[in-house]
Amino acid sequence: MSADYTGRLLTREVMATADIFLRESRRLFKPHGLTAAQYNVLNALAAAPAGLSQRELGDVLVVDRSNVTGLIDRLETTGWVRRTADPSDRRVHRLALTPAGRRLRNRVHARYDAVVQQVVAGLDAPRMHTAVQVLKSLQAGARAWHLPKA
Amino acid sequence: MSADYTGRLLTREVMATADIFLRESRRLFKPHGLTAAQYNVLNALAAAPAGLSQRELGDVLVVDRSNVTGLIDRLETTGWVRRTADPSDRRVHRLALTPAGRRLRNRVHARYDAVVQQVVAGLDAPRMHTAVQVLKSLQAGARAWHLPKA
DNA sequence: AACAAATAGTTGACGTATCAACAATAGATA
DNA sequence: TATCTATTGTTGATACGTCAACTATTTGTT
């Protein structure tokens, strides 16, 4: 098994695994009326006690500002997120979970976490640790390819 | 470092890595006028000497039939893919690369492959092998969670 | 203070993805 | 054969994602 064959295989499997995770996680979110992107928003907001601006949220999710607009529009109509004016900068919208949004997030997060534990159950810590290191290395490699453009 | 912490970390890193790959690969495809989805179509067709029906292509790419329609519409207008009538079943459209499509695919594939080799360069075979095994196990685990619904 | 950047958010155009509903065709069965 | 069922591809609605262009602000410079 040549090294480059394994390299191709590895990158392919990373993509395939992420794709399966995404698909299966959608099945979990759907009954709660949530999409995967919306769950990520609730989660990011739950982890930011002081709230986030839309730009900050976009940075956290690695998503364009323009995408955040629609995402929050929809989450506002469902009543899970609130936009409030920032007192010190009239351009920014401060985002926060509503109580209902926080409850929903906690409920879904617990289920999601339980599934992750189940999915990961067959793996021993050293192997997982190696896998994480390999993934980090792949991320660094991908970014290193990116940077030379500068 | 508890096992469940590593489990959460692992799944998060899988998603993050796939996301970075996707973003960076788009940078590679763009100058050739290709999107990531379109590259995947060209690749699937290049690997199927007898051509594929739209349903078969959807199965290979794990996307909905309805998505294939638009994908092929666009690739037909750029002249990289051709739809032909299937003689034995008037419902199906047989898909094939045009010569230009095949040339484009080969050109882009070569570059893509070179980048993958570069990205993977810092990793030794045993670690990659472990990572692939872990990923396969995660896929199996995710699907195992899926199946119990039946 | 006045003017020139830079930044926050929105909009519109487009590509990709899903789902549900539909027409045309094929296949199975009564 | 006539009918019922399944399958192929298309369409329309909705969501997500990008980019480029725009407005309203802020900040920085002269």
- State the pLDDT at residue A149: 37
Closest C-alpha to A63, from B10, B19, B35: B19
Q: B5 pLDDT exceeds 70?
A: yes
pLDDT band of residue A89 (cuts 50, 70, 90) is very high
Q: Is the CB of B91 under 7 A from strand C?
A: yes
pLDDT at B149 over 70: no
Phi first, then psi: what are they for A149, rounded to 5°? -60, -30
CA–C1' B60–D10 (A): 20
Instruction: State pLDDT tens for residues B103-143.
Output: 999 999 999 999 999 999 889 999 999 999 999 999 999 98
Write out pLDDT tens, residues B15-74: 999 999 999 999 999 999 999 999 999 999 999 999 999 999 999 999 999 999 999 999
Residue B145: band (very low, low, confident or very high) from pLDDT cuts 50, 70, 90: confident
Residue A21 CA to nucleotide C17 C1', Å?
A: 15
**Non-local CB neighbours of A146 within 8 Å, separated by 6+ positions:** B24, B27
Q: Which two tokens stand for residue B75?
A: 């690739």
Q: What is the pLDDT of residues A53-70, one digit of tens each?
A: 999 999 999 999 999 999
A13-46, pLDDT tens digit by residue? 999 999 999 999 999 999 999 999 999 999 999 9
Q: How far apart are CA A68 and CA A73, in angstroms?
A: 8
Query: CB-based contacts of B81: which residues, under 8 Å, 6+ apart?
Result: B41, B42, B45, B72, B75, B95, B96, B97, B98, B101
Are the C-beta atoms of B42 and B101 separated by less than 8 Å?
A: yes
> In chain B, what's the furthest Cα-to-Cα distance?
61
Residue nearest to nucleotide D12 (CA to C1'): B66
Q: Which chain A residues contact residue B147 at CB under 8 A?
A: none
| Chain A residues lying within 8 Å of B10, measured CB to CB | 120, 123, 128, 131-132, 135
Pair of tokens at residue A106: 């906690």
Confidence of residue A148 (pLDDT cuts 50, 70, 90): very low
**Res. B148 pLDDT band, cuts 50 70 90:** very low
Tell me the shortest Cα–Cα distance from B5 to chain A, in angstroms. Answer: 9
Higher model confidence: residue B111 or residue B2? B111
**Contact flag B122-A139 (C-beta cutoff 8 Å):** no
Nucleotides on chain D that have an atom closer than 7 A to a protein CB are: 7-13, 15-21, 24-27
Mutate to test the interface with B, among A119, A133, A136, A139 (most CBs of B within 10 A): A119
Residues 6+ apart with CB under 8 A from B93: B53, B54, B72, B83, B84, B85, B86
Residue B84 sits at the vertex; the CA angle it makes with B81 and B90, to the nearest 5 degrees, is 140
